[in-house]
Structure 1
Amino acid sequence: MSADIIQQAWATFSTRDPERIAAVFTPDAEWLAPAGNATALALDITNHMIGRDQIAHFLAVDFPRLFTSDVQVTFRGFHTAGETVIVEETMTATLADGTHYANDYCLVFEVHNGLIHRVREYLDTARGARQLRQTVALPE
């Protein structure tokens, strides 16, 4: 059941509709990514988003400023234990400067009462920084 909720949420994320996106999260949801990750640095945003409105704004407004087109997510696996869903995926996209981005992610979703309460995001931060450094001025 929880894996279905996450798959449906991913389809909602792609709509870029902040109201629809916010509706899949609890009001006090959190999204935690590694500190100093290249996406947060490039967009000058926090790596720890709190509240469904902040998360929805990131997915609907901030994310498309950097990953401008051809965003594709290839799911490698969904692993469920109770209300926790672990998603393995590869994301590819065209960046704002026209270069290609590809990175592997592991996301841990905690679901409460049918809504996403917490997301912990893991990725190859060095690979992300190498690719995004071409697009924006990231610190060495």
Structure 2
Amino acid sequence: MSAASDNTRILRDAFARTAAGEGRAFVDILAEDAVWITLGSTAWSKRFEGKAAILRDLLGPLRAQFSQPNRVRAERFIAEGDMVAVEAQGDAVTRDGRPYRNRYCLVCRMRDGLIVELTEYADTALIDRVLGPPVPAVKA
């Protein structure tokens, strides 16, 4: 198999589990030195460096806004070499009952079966309209 097909298979498996509400599947394929870039000019738009920062400053605060898991279902994969683009549809509800159904294009660079860089393209108007600002978890 080629690197592109191996990387697509890894992402396809993780997204299948994420669509079923198992967000941990996606976290498990983030490299420790991963970089996640959320584009735009929202309070969520930032470059998150390292898996710990991604969990603490992005995914944790995002999860805290939802009353249920954000089920992200992949619809299309385009791969070449170590790069895989994933077109996906999210489905969640905020704690105050508002639907959050964002569309994504996630461009992932893979290394040794793990995501080392992810650039997220999303509906930033929806982010501004539905989500509050990210609030990182406070360490006790």
Match of 1:100 in 2: 99
The offset of 1:88, in angstroms, is 0.3
Q: Does 1:64 align with 2:63?
A: yes
Question: Which residue pairs with 1:5 in the alignment?
Answer: 10
Report the Cα distance in structure 2 between the residues aligned to 1:116 and 1:36, rounded to whole angstroms: 24
1:33 aligned partner: 38
Q: Distance in 1 between matches of 2:32 and 2:98?
A: 36
Please name the residue that 2:46 is paired with: 47
Q: 5+ unaligned residues in a row in structure 1: which ranges?
A: 41-45
RMSD of aligned residue pairs (Cα, Å): 2.8
Q: Identify unmatched segments of 5+ residues in structure 2.
A: 1-5, 134-140
Q: Deviations over 1:41-86 (max 9, x none)?
A: xxxxx62110112223333x32211122152223220111111110
Once the two structures are TM-superposed, the CA of residue 8 in structure 1 deviates from its matched residue by 3.3
Paired with 2:34 and 2:18, the residues of 1 have a C-alpha distance of 16
- Residue 15 of structure 1 deviates from its aligned partner by 4.0
- How many matched pairs? 126
Question: Percent of pairs identical after alignment?
Answer: 29
Normalised by the size of structure 1, how large is the TM-score? 0.74
- Give the superposition deviation at 1:35: 4.2
